[in-house]
């Protein structure tokens, strides 16, 4: 058995922030298409520009906070236990 004692806060937040930035860009394209379909050019442009960065920033902050909370909880009561199997 292995135990996850701590999570590196900044690298985890940065990686997941990047992941959600890309997911936000994809979602922004769909939101922009929906706005264009309804005749809202400005909303479509705003979706393309802002949805990806907003998703990325919010994810960076929240996942950083989550990793920090995990580290404090794992220090007090123990981390997640898991088993690794070599293939």
Residue 74, classified by CB atoms within 10 Å of its CB into exposed (0-12), middle (13-18) or buried (19+), is middle
Boundaries of domain holding 32: 2-82
**Lookup: tokens for 16:** 């997941």
The answer to whether residue 10 sits within a structural domain is yes
User: CA–CA separation, 29 vs 51, rounded Å?
Assistant: 9
The answer to whether residue 37 sits within a structural domain is yes
- Each residue's pLDDT, cut to its tens digit, for the chain (87 residues) gives 899 999 999 999 999 999 999 999 999 999 999 999 999 999 999 999 999 999 999 999 999 999 999 999 999 999 999 999 998
The answer to whether residue 28 sits within a structural domain is yes
Total structural domains within the chain: 1
**Lookup: tokens for 69:** 């909370």
Residue 1, classified by CB atoms within 10 Å of its CB into exposed (0-12), middle (13-18) or buried (19+), is exposed
The answer to whether residue 87 sits within a structural domain is no
The answer to whether residue 50 sits within a structural domain is yes
The answer to whether residue 78 sits within a structural domain is yes
Secondary-structure percent of the chain, ordered helix, strand, coil, rounded to 5: 75, 5, 15
The answer to whether residue 71 sits within a structural domain is yes
The answer to whether residue 6 sits within a structural domain is yes
pTM for this structure? 0.86
DSSP run (H or E) holding 3: strand 2-4
């Amino acid at each position: 058995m292995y135990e996850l004692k701590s999570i590196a806060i900044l690298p985890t937040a940065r990686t997941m922030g990047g992941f959600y930035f890309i997911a936000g860009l994809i979602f922004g394209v769909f939101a922009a298409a929906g706005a264009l379909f309804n005749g809202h050019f400005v909303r479509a442009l705003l979706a393309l520009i802002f949805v990806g960065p907003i998703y990325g920033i919010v994810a960076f902050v929240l996942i950083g906070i989550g990793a920090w909370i995990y580290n404090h909880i794992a220090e007090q009561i123990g981390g997640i236990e898991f088993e690794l199997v070599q293939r």
